[in-house]
Structure 1
Amino acid sequence: MATPRYDAKTNDPPLIERSSSIKSYTTSRATYPRLRVFYRKHQHADKLPTSPAPVPLLAIVHGLGGSVAQFNALLTSLTPIASCLAVDLPGCGVSDFAPRDWDAYSADALVELLETVIEDHRDAAAGQGVVLIGHSMGSSLAALLANPRKPTTGLHEHVLGLVAICPTAGQFTPDQVRMMRAGLCIPGFLFDLWRAWDRRGGLESPSVHRFVGSDADAETKRLQYMYNFQSRTPVWRRMAWGALPTYSKGVPSNGIASLDIWAGLDIPVFLVGGTDDHVVPPGEVDKIASVLADKKTDSGSEPDGATTNTEETPVANGAAEIPHLPQHPKKVVANIKLPSPAGHGLLYALPTVPVLAGLISDFLSAHVTGRLSLGWQLQYLCRDGKWDVKNLEKWRKVAPVSEPIGGVFRAIKTLREVDEEHCPRVFVEKWGDTIKDVIDISHDNPVYDPRGLDVGGIRYHKFATLSKVPPNEAEIRGFVDLVDKIRADQRERARADGWKDGYAVGVHCHYGFNRTGFLIACYLVERCGFTAKEAIDAFAKARPNGIRHEHFRDRLYVRYSGVKSDA
């Protein structure tokens, strides 16, 4: 079968394509005439608090031979919590290969370009901060942007945190630099011949296996082959050359971030490596974490408690309290190595990206500002009553009861006492032979009289959880224990009363999608042998559209991935 060819301009994911534009930027070193810039403003930016500053801008930096498109899956999770910015560096992705001067692709030149693009989108007048998220060489460029000593830019004063995915420590000896430069001097046509040889086999080529592993799923391999195909040899050579340091009397300068640059960071830093990364060894994470932990800083970092973990943010008078937004969050160093099959492409590989997205969201909300928690944002924005006309019409369009889920549950929407079709009396008539218990996980008192269920033989259980926020550990444990007790009781009642098979536990929040799906999925994983993906898919199949909020799904993937960060 012929190997497909790919073109960056015709293979953009819809999210990237809809929010991209072509722009020109001039720095002190060069003019970059046609760069693809992705910028998606937070949908509710104007409704969220702006004092002392707006929610931080998330700035994405891709690596050597990469592109904005590689972050598509991650951006799906990040765009709901903040405005997001990314740029295809010159000659990468959709951006034109111009200029062609080698100096325009040095690390320092690219850092200056990135600063220019970021400042063009950051709300400087409002004091908006920036969180940098880089992959591979992009992590090093981000570290240079965040370090107050290198280069001489002012952006570092506004950087609130850094997430480094598959980062490199950037330690090259003079001999290594000489060998690499000699290799980069090989004529371009020989590079192209080597790359063609490396791509032999298409989706099963050595180049694909090196980045995502030979056992990767077909879609991940397709993505990796596409990214390999889009990477241009002359651009790769220039960026690789510019990443190498210059030695003078044994002292390195320029090039990508070395350990002394990493050590100079005094902000929250989250380092993520892949156990099966054959491009950047996962041990690089340990090297960087070590120098960050050893380096003592005294830059006026805010004290413990400066940020708020919003999963524990209290709710007062029906509205979410506003978490603190520090101008300089306390320095925290967290690191994690995702287990197999996490390779260099872990940010777009289907098995790993949901876990990565959840870990990043957790880190940002816990250590940068609780305002970056989607759960808190939704709570803050949801200040209207549950039963205004808009929400009532939305409720009416939701199916009352799902199909069976895992042989245990039925997801339902909350009943309404005054509704003619979904009130306790009618529910008992329609579903009393099937649904024997109802667990109400909504936070407020029910808008129906539970006694109407009890009279009809359906037992009612109240287990309150907060709207818009994924249930915490205590809530998950409580729900699992409650369902265990209900199922044991149902088995006794079934024997005593001669029930037919197929009886179920009904669960509802308001509409019966997010919190309901989350807790049902937890039970399916912990008690019924499902994987997180199988549980999420089973819920979606039984209740079309499934768990709608991305941060709920991300949290499930993180919880059942078996990985924890070392903070």
Structure 2
Amino acid sequence: MVWTQQDSRKLECQLTVDADAKSTDPPLIERGSSIKAYTTSRATYPRLRVFYRRHQHADNLPTSPAPVPLLVFIHGLGGSVAMFNPLLTSLTPIASCLAVDLPGCGVSEFEPRDWDAYSTDALVELLETVIEDHRDAASGQGVVLIGHSMGSSLAALLANPRKPTTALHEHVLGLVGICPTAGQFTPERVRMLRAAFYIPEFIFNLWRAWDRRGGLESPSVHRFVGAGADSESKRLQYMYNYQSKSPVWRRMAWGALPMWSNGVPSNGLAALDVWAGLDLPVFLVGGTDDQVVPSEEVDEIVSVLAEKKSESSLETNGVTKSSEDSTPANGAAGLPCLPQHPKKVVVSTKLPSPAGHGLLYAPPTVPILAGLISDFLSTHVTGRLSLGWQLQYLCRDGKWDVKNLEKWRNVAPVSGPIGGVFRAIKTLREVDEEHCPRVFVQKWGGIIKDVIDISHDNPVYNPRGLEEGGMHYHKYGTLSKVPPNETEISGFVDLVDKIRADQKEQAKAKGWDDGYAIGVHCHYGFNRTGFLIACYLVERCGFTAKEAIEAFAKARPNGIRHEHFRDRLYVRYSGVKSDSEA
């Protein structure tokens, strides 16, 4: 049998699902993104997607000696900003966050085409330029670099003063490497890999199509997330693989290979000598089942980073943590210190099976990874990156609290059952004695197993309080005062479908009693909450619009209060379209 380009196109047409990066952009990423042009000493990149979300309360947090650090996310070879969506959802509440689709990746345009513009050194200079464009340099703001795979290597090069373009390395306060690469290439291996790049691109595309045979059960998907991964992890990996452009991948991979001169490598990915030069807090995370970058590379990097052999590590629930307590000391009046150069500490973690190369977006590992990164930031960089501390600090003066405290207190915390699926709730409040995560889990943990937060802003509570109590938190932001649009409705329905499927498996495995539910809240839990719940009841549970609105009002007295929300539901499900929509 001869495999042709036509065969590969047929195969891709059969399996293409959500293949366009722009159409699959998560709402958080889409809202925080802009298209920008950047020029470096090497090239001009005309249309790069840059995600930047300033901390919602940056102006109300201490700015002396500097603002809260900027978190910078760097994707790897064939990756995109969208892969960081789950982590960004967890970390945007604690700091301003920045991420960029490297040229030709994700939503960024594949320009220029010159191979030199995709070399590792060129990408490092580009990242340096983008970061300096967003860092509050005038106030002395520091940055924490968070990279995945090759992105970890780019982060190490940015943090190392070996070949700086700017003074950025002086302001890097910490580094998180997810599935980091040790960059160990022998001259023979480099020659072999370079020879492979002379294979014509159409042959490479045929191989990629062949590698994707089987769709979600293809070798391509299994290699990144494992054959035993959940269906959502497999779907995401197939989508990301399909969105990766071959000519971009080839250019970046070529540029990542070092040049050898007199037996000495230069350029290319960060090798162990670059990692060894880091003098700052470093957190390395590997996946036990990673088939792309074996977790043993974490050990190689740790071995050159460790300053003292006595700095041992200890194993706790399959997670390795540094045994040295280097928590930045608190300053006066309980204000955590923000050191300009935090003390070097190396923390390494290997997430247990089935964690693979896609652990940053795989649903089973994301909550663990997000929690570990949060702990590292607040413990080893600055306590000002603790969401709990920020909530306490801001609530002292009412700067981070519910909009109308008296009105909020007069709203019932939790509704009755809605359609056998939901409970509408008002937003939790971290400093409340009754409706805070700790008490909420104690009271409702046997019934409400998942909470969907559809508020647009960061919550006024720490979601980790729910997660630690066994209740899963999902952020799905929507704008207030306006009915959710078509994309938001579709995304909400899909999210609830996935949660229900997971709950069904959990109920069977853990013997849950009937009546378990999904909690949904905006601020008070009426308009947007009622609208989206009603949409789900119509689209999945056989309700009419009228029945869904009435069911919500019965369980949540006063129901959907804004008339234009109710009108939109009736119009949406009436089947009537205006001439302009026909």
- Match of 1:188? 201
Query: Which of 437, 453, 456 is the equivalent residue of 1:514?
Result: 437
Q: What residue number does 1:390 align with? A: 404
SS of 1:375's partner is helix
The 3-state SS of whatever aligns with 1:89 is: coil
The higher radius of gyration belongs to 1
1:92-149 CA-to-partner distances (Å, cap 9, x unmatched) read 0000111111111111000000000000000000000000000000000000000111
Structure 1 residues 305 and 92, CA gap change in structure 2 (3 angstroms): closer
CA offsets per residue over residues 166-224 of structure 1, 9 Å max, x none? 00100100001011111122110000000000111111111111111112222111111
Q: What residue in structure 1 maps to residue 243 of structure 2?
A: 230
| Aligned 8 A contact 2:391 2:461 in 1 | no
Give the secondary-structure state (helix, strand or coil) at the position aligned to 1:167.
Answer: coil
Task: Answer with 546-555 or 345-354: which moved more.
Answer: 546-555
Residues 387 and 323 (structure 1 numbering): CA distance in 2 closer, same or farther, change over 3 Å? closer
Q: Does 1:552 align with 2:564?
A: no
For residue 151 of structure 1, report the CA deviation from its aligned partner: 3.8
Do structure 1's residue 65 and structure 2's residue 86 form an aligned pair?
A: no
Assess if the C-alpha contact under 8 Å between 1:246 and 1:252 holds in 2: yes
Q: Which residue of 2 aligns with 1:538?
A: 449
Q: How big is the shift at 1:548?
A: 6.0
Runs of 4+ in 1 over 3 A off after TM superposition: 150-153, 303-306, 384-389, 400-403, 517-521, 543-549, 553-559
Q: Which residue of 2 aligns with 1:46?
A: 59
Output the amino acid matched with 1:233: S
Give 3-state SS (helix, strand or coil) of 1:203's partner: helix
State the distance in 2 between where 1:384 and 1:56 align.
Answer: 22
CA–CA separation in structure 2 for the residues paired with 1:76 and 1:90 = 24
Show the counterpart of 2:16. Answer: 4
Partner of 2:153: 140
Q: How does 1:119-158 map to 2 (within 5 A)?
A: 119-158=132-171
Distance in 1, Cα, partners of 2:126 & 2:470: 36
How far the C-alpha of 1:554 sits from its partner, in A, is 5.0
1:59-86 alpha-carbon deviations (Å, 9 max, x no partner): 0000000000000000000100000000
SS in 1 for 2:22: helix
Normalising by structure 2, report the TM-score.
0.70
1:161 equivalent to 2:161? Answer no
In the alignment, the residues of structure 2 paired with residue 387 and residue 94 of structure 1 have an alpha-carbon distance, to the nearest angstrom, of 35
Contact in 2 for aligned 1:355/1:558 (Cα 8 Å): no
Aligned-partner residue type, residue 354 of structure 2: P
| Candidates 305, 308, 323, aligned match of 1:292 | 305
Structure 1 residues not aligned, in runs of 5+: 297-302, 404-411, 414-441, 443-466, 470-508, 525-534, 560-567
After superposition, the C-alpha distances for 1:450-483 in whole angstroms (9 at most, x for unaligned) are xxxxxxxxxxxxxxxxx848xxxxxxxxxxxxxx
Write the distance in 2 (CA, Å) between the matches of 1:291 and 1:256. 16
* 1:421-465 superposed Cα distances (whole Å, 9 cap, x missing partner): xxxxxxxxxxxxxxxxxxxxx9xxxxxxxxxxxxxxxxxxxxxxx
Equivalent position amino acid for 1:390 in 2: N
Q: Do the aligned partners of 1:306 and 1:330 also contact (CA within 8 Å) in 2?
A: no
Name the counterpart of 1:377: 390
Q: Which residue of 1 aligns with 2:376?
A: 363
Q: Is the 8 A contact 2:402 2:460 kept in 1?
A: no
**Aligned partners of 1:123 and 1:547: how far apart in 2?**
25
Deviation at 1:50, TM superposition (A): 0.3
Query: Within the alignment, does 1:203 sit opposite 2:203 as a pair?
Result: no
After superposition, give the CA deviation of every residue in 1:210-254 in whole Å (9 maximum; x if it has no partner): 111112222111111110000000100010011110000100000
Q: Is the CA contact (8 Å cut-off) linking 1:308 and 1:366 kept in structure 2?
A: no
Write the mapping of 1:417-566 to structure 2, written as runs, cut at 5 A.
Answer: 468=430, 510-518=433-441, 537-538=448-449, 540=451, 549-555=462-468
Taking the aligned partners of 1:339 and 1:41, their CA distance within structure 2 comes to: 34
Q: How many Å separate the matches in 1 of 2:447 and 2:465?
A: 10
- Secondary structure at the aligned position of 2:229 is classed as coil
Tell me the equivalent position of 1:106. 119
* Residues 64 and 236 in structure 1, CA contact (< 8 A), matched pair in contact too: yes
Q: CA deviation at 1:2?
A: 3.6
SS at match of 1:10: coil
Counterpart of 1:214 in structure 2 is 227
**Is the partner of 2:349 in helix, strand or coil?**
strand
* Residue 307, structure 1, aligned to residue 328, structure 2: yes
Amino acid in the other structure paired with 2:119: S
Cα distance in 2, alignment partners of residues 256 and 10 from structure 1: 32
2:95–2:385 Cα contact (<8 Å) kept: yes
Query: What's 2:495 paired with?
Result: none
- Whether contact under 8 Å (1:358, 1:557) holds in the other structure is no
Which secondary structure state, in structure 2, belongs to the residue aligned with residue 65 of structure 1? Answer: coil
Cα deviation for residue 520 of structure 1 reads: 6.3
- The one-letter code sitting in structure 2 at the alignment partner of 1:549 is N
Query: Compared with structure 1, are the counterparts of its residues 175 and 548 closer, same or farther at alpha carbon in structure 2 (3 Å cutoff)?
Result: same
Native 8 Å contact 2:149 2:181 kept in 1: yes
Distance between the aligned counterparts of 1:107 and 1:382, measured in 2? 45
After superposition, the Cα gap between the structure-2 partners of 1:175 and 1:4, relative to the gap in structure 1 and judged at 3 Å, is: same
AA aligned to 1:551 is R
Q: How many residues align?
A: 435
- Worse-matched range after superposition: 200-209 or 104-113: 200-209
Please, what is the CA RMSD of the aligned residues? 3.2
Partner AA of 2:185 in structure 1: F
Note the residue ranges of structure 2 that are not aligned, 5 or more in a row: 1-12, 310-323, 418-424, 473-582
Cα deviation for residue 556 of structure 1 reads 5.3
Aligned partner of 1:82 in structure 2 is 95
Q: CA deviation at 1:517?
A: 3.4
Give CA deviations for 1:334-369 in whole Å, capped at 9, x if unaligned. Answer: 000000110000000000000000000000000000
